[in-house]
Amino acid sequence: MNTQQKYLVGRGEDVDIFINDITVSGSHLILIVLDSYHARIIDNNSTNGTYLVKTGNLRITDEIVDMDATLILGATYRTTPRLLLQRLAPKEEEAQPRRAPDTTEPFSRYLRDDNGEFRRK
């Protein structure tokens, strides 16, 4: 990845990745994707902190971590940078449009005529 992707994570309305946990701050942390394997985690002065789980829980403020490193946001919310990214909603251009059902092809023994009424095939 040539450009770094930056996401705001938290419980607030203006976040990119929403976490529904009372111990997670409104704008808890900033997640910056560095490449496919690493992310930079910047705690955004959250009330309950961001912790990197290694041999113990290490409180972090600005750390480069593996995408699969276990983090604790707030008091109990366990996740990884990769899992946080999976919570992103698809962009509109990537979302598949819903297709209207094709009413001209038979789906049973009935067809819809030009007046919108069903008639037997």
Residue 79, domain CATH: 2.60.200.20
27 in Cβ contact with 10 (< 8 Å): yes
| Residue 40 within a domain | yes
Domain extent at residue 23: 5-86
Q: Give 7's strand partners.
A: 31
| Residue 31 within a domain | yes
User: What is the number of domains present in the chain?
Assistant: 1
| Residue 101 within a domain | no
CA dist 56 and 51 (Å) reads: 9
pLDDT tens-digit profile, the chain (121 residues)? 456 899 999 999 999 999 999 999 999 999 999 999 999 999 999 999 999 998 688 999 999 999 999 999 999 999 999 999 999 865 544 445 555 555 555 445 666 677 777 677 6
